[in-house]
């Protein structure tokens, strides 16, 4: 029997494992940055156009893109938005 997980599901499972282990070894979730996938970047750009910059919790829970951004923290969204605005302008 083979089980397959989406990219977001794998990130969530890793995050859960790290939190469980991190409590005892002091690992910060923020220290485990993951490279942004192109679908995540595009989803973030699209949803920022709808909700605006700064509405990170709303953006995270938006039904159209939450499957892409569910494994990202609010600060991850903010950092990527800053990075994108600097690189595009």
Range of 50's domain?
7-88
Residue 11 lies in a domain: yes
Can you list the alpha helix ranges (DSSP code H) found in 26-65? Answer: 38-51, 56-61
Residue 84 lies in a domain: yes
Q: What is the mean pLDDT of residues 60-87?
A: 85
Please give the Cα distance from 73 to 88 (Å, whole number).
23
Whether the predicted model's global pTM rises above the 0.85 cut: no
Q: What is the pLDDT of residue 61?
A: 83
Residue 56 lies in a domain: yes
Structure-block tokens of residue 19: 């939190």
Residue 1 lies in a domain: no
Q: What is the pLDDT of residue 20?
A: 54
**How many structural domains is the chain composed of?**
1
pLDDT digits (tens, 9 = 90+) for 12-63: 766 665 555 555 445 555 556 788 889 889 999 999 999 999 988 888 888 8
- In the 8-state DSSP scheme, what is residue 41? H
């Amino acid at each position: 029997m083979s089980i397959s997980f989406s990219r977001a599901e794998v990130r969530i499972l890793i995050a859960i494992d790290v939190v469980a282990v991190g409590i005892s070894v002091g690992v910060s979730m923020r220290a485990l940055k993951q490279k942004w996938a192109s679908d995540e970047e595009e989803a973030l750009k699209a949803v920022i156009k709808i909700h605006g910059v700064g509405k990170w919790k709303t953006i995270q829970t938006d039904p159209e893109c939450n499957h892409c951004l569910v494994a990202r923290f609010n600060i991850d969204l903010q950092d990527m938005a800053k990075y994108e605005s600097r690189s595009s302008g």
